[in-house]
Amino acid sequence: MSAPTAPAPEPMTHRQIMEALSGLLLVLFVAMISATIVSVALPQIVGALKGTQSQYTWVVTASLLASTASTPIWGKLADLFSKKLLLQASIVIFMVSSLACGFAQDTAQLIAFRALQGLGMGALQVLVQVVIAAMISPRDRGKYNGYLGGVMAVATVAGPLLGGLIADTSWLGWRWCFFIAVPFTVIAFFMLHKTLHVVSVRRPDVKIDYVGATLIAAGVSVLLIWVTFVDNSFAWLSWQTAAMAGGGVLLLVAATWVESVVKEPVVPLHVVRRRTPALAIVASLAVGMAMFGGSVFLGQYFQTGRGYSPTEAGLLTIPMMLGVLVSSTISGRMVSRSGNVKPYIVVGSIVLTGGFVVLSTIDHQTPLLLIAAAMVLVGAGVGMSMQNLVLAIQNTVPLSELGAASGAITFFRSLGGTIGVSVLGAVLANRVMAGINEGLVKAGIDPAKAAGGTSTLDVQALPEPFRTIVSTAYGDATGHIFLFSAAIAVVGVIAALLLKPVKLRDSLDLPAPEQPKEPVAR
């Protein structure tokens, strides 16, 4: 006699979904905004803690490394343990580390606490998407993903703006850039404790691939450290590059081998090797570069190249936020209505490329209206493609592999954005230096004697004519980096075109394969 099968869980109602989604979006917003809120306030933070330029870089890099490297691990854990319990644990990690960052007494402490905060940020970014996928079928998920894209857009743009306002407010100060996350995470924790109901099956034969996880984390970390410092502390062609880039690749090769032989891999290669996940990962690299690079370098362009304040620069990037917000909401609802996701990814990647092409023409005198139009295109491209790429992958895997698949695409998007920002930053630095030298020569000044006086990013503190030369160099150099972005976005267009057109399923899980019928005995 066969054992009785457990009844399938009843789907959550729209009201229950919206109640749980409110808590999920709140904690995702706080996690994403914490990644960008320090960007404007960082000079004041490191100055107050009497840190060095190297430590300045590591305050950002520490959280980025921990977040990116841990993303696939959190995704895999979501397939093995209670999704709700993992989400609550990651909220606690993020809340405690944010408090610790705010109380840091020197830069070494801040770097350590930022790494811990990065673990929480990486967990929240992937677990929120996994939980949403466990609550809502792919067909219905599109309209809810519109809210997700909107939250990501607002957080990406609002972070630097909020950080500048907090740092400039005397009765708050820079420590509140970290403290501000705490009350919101407490609210989200109790909201989710009450409203979130996701079925999680704990398998008795669970094995966690600690070796693979360690090799992945080490390989990614070494490569990101290399990208952070190459062309700054050492040259592209140097023994340091050979050691770090080669060592990182070897570690990842070893991780790939381990993942191919263990029973419970952190990143299931059979998922990544499939056509749709592989192409979605390639396309997501371009989206990652747009999401991170757009906000980082446009903010710097408006401040350093055009002379606007941090608050004004944040306001000038609003068109990109609006583009993401509107396009993600509309395309999400249209995807749910039609069940087709590929057309929106293709159109989004083409629009994204067009926005980068327009941005590649800007200099220090480009009309703000043209820049705003280009930012709307970039935002619309991100909004149409970012969450729909996650949806395309989630539609191809069973519920048991949802966490690993979501973690994989989030990991590669974050990795692409991190590498893109670092490489584009190196290109920008070289172009700026060349532009400054050309400007100095035209002004009849010896570049060798003036180098020390033009190395600061605080342009307003420079005397004339240095101020005009440096500002012009930054304004003119920014267009070149977006030409690189446009070229990489073309790769995303090709990957999107090669995606197989599929209908999104209505069920939470893939349908079970039909069993062959046994022949009837005569």
Which among 309, 193, 228, 177 has a CA at the least distance from the CA of 56? Answer: 228
- Is it true that the peptide bond before 43 is cis, omega within 30 degrees of 0? no
Q: Is 13 helix (H, G, I), strand (E, B) or coil?
A: coil
Same domain, yes or no, for 434 and 488?
yes
Q: Which amino acid makes up residue 479?
A: G
pLDDT-derived band at 509 (thresholds 50, 70, 90) equals low
Name the least confident of 180-194, 199-213, 336-350, 374-388: 199-213
Q: Which of the 8 DSSP states describes residue 103?
A: T
Look at residue 511 and tell me if it is in a domain: no
Higher pLDDT, 254 or 410: 254
Residue-level pLDDT at 351 = 94
Sort 338 into a burial class: Cβ within 10 Å, 0-12 / 13-18 / 19+. middle
| CATH number for the domain that contains residue 312 | 1.20.1250.20
Q: Quick check: 481 and 427 in contact, CB under 8 A?
A: yes
Look at residue 444 and tell me if it is in a domain: yes
Q: Which residue carries 């150099």 as its tokens?
A: 477
Look at residue 508 and tell me if it is in a domain: no
Count of domains for the chain: 2
Q: Is 234 helix (H, G, I), strand (E, B) or coil?
A: strand
Alpha-helical regions (H) of 169-274: 176-179, 181-195, 210-229, 239-261, 269-272
Q: Quick check: 313 and 319 in contact, CB under 8 A?
A: no
Same domain, yes or no, for 144 and 232?
no
> Ranked by mean pLDDT, which of 8-17, 469-478, 498-507 comes out on top?
469-478
pLDDT-derived band at 353 (thresholds 50, 70, 90) equals very high
In whole angstroms, what separates CA 20 from the centre of its chain?
Answer: 23
Q: In Å, what is the CA distance from 491 to each residue of 126, 495, 502? A: 24, 6, 21
Among 232, 247, 263, which residue terminates a domain? 263
Q: pLDDT (tens digit, 9 = 90+) per residue, 176-227?
A: 888 988 998 899 888 888 887 776 655 555 567 778 878 887 887 788 778 7
Which among 410, 382, 405 has a CA at the least distance from the CA of 395? Answer: 405
Q: pLDDT (tens digit, 9 = 90+) per residue, 394-424?
A: 777 776 666 667 767 777 777 777 677 767 7
Total residues belonging to the chain: 522
Same domain, yes or no, for 356 and 219?
no
User: b or e along 244-262 (b: 16 or more beta carbons within 10 Å of the residue's beta carbon)?
Assistant: bbeebeebbebbbebbeee
Q: How many CB atoms lie within 10 A of CB 41?
A: 25
Residue-level pLDDT at 97 = 93
Q: How many CB atoms lie within 10 A of CB 207?
A: 10
Distance CA 274, CA 276 (A): 6
Same domain, yes or no, for 270 and 281?
yes
Same domain, yes or no, for 232 and 338?
no
Same domain, yes or no, for 168 and 222?
no
Which among 324, 406, 408 has a CA at the least distance from the CA of 146? Answer: 324
Same domain, yes or no, for 477 and 339?
yes
Domain membership of residue 374 as a residue range: 14-197+264-498
Residue-level pLDDT at 471 = 77
Taking all residues of the chain, what is their mean pLDDT, rounded to a whole number?
78
Beta-carbon contacts of residue 505 (< 8 Å; ≥ 6 apart) = 137, 138, 139, 395, 511
Look at residue 514 and tell me if it is in a domain: no
> Ranked by mean pLDDT, which of 46-55, 137-146, 379-388 comes out on top?
379-388
Q: Which residue carries 């990037």 as its tokens?
A: 317
Look at residue 285 and tell me if it is in a domain: yes
Which among 355, 333, 354 has a CA at the least distance from the CA of 344? Answer: 333
In whole angstroms, what separates CA 236 from the centre of its chain?
Answer: 25
The DSSP code sequence of 314-331 is HHHTHHHHHHHHHHHHHH
Which among 254, 259, 204 has a CA at the least distance from the CA of 73? Answer: 259
User: b or e along 427-443 (b: 16 or more beta carbons within 10 Å of the residue's beta carbon)?
Assistant: bbeebbbebbbebbeee
Backbone phi and psi for residue 91, each to the nearest 5 degrees, phi listed first: -65, -40
Same domain, yes or no, for 174 and 57?
yes
Same domain, yes or no, for 393 and 466?
yes
Same domain, yes or no, for 177 and 228?
no
Same domain, yes or no, for 274 and 257?
no
Q: Quick check: 179 and 102 in contact, CB under 8 A?
A: yes
Among 247, 263, 279, which residue terminates a domain? 263
Q: In Å, what is the CA distance from 368 to each residue of 298, 303, 361? A: 12, 13, 13
Look at residue 512 and tell me if it is in a domain: no
Q: Is 194 helix (H, G, I), strand (E, B) or coil?
A: helix
In whole angstroms, what separates CA 269 from the centre of its chain?
Answer: 22
Percent of the chain with pLDDT over 90: 13
Between the CA atoms of 126, 128, 130 and 135, what dihedral angle is there, to the nearest 10 degrees?
A: -170
Among 248, 263, 278, which residue terminates a domain? 263
Q: Is the pTM of this model over 0.85?
A: no
Structure-block tokens of residue 4: 């009785």
Name the least confident of 161-170, 374-383, 476-485: 161-170
Look at residue 305 and tell me if it is in a domain: yes
Look at residue 484 and tell me if it is in a domain: yes
Q: Which residue carries 């952070």 as its tokens?
A: 228
Q: Which residue carries 């519109």 as its tokens?
A: 146
Same domain, yes or no, for 84 and 158?
yes
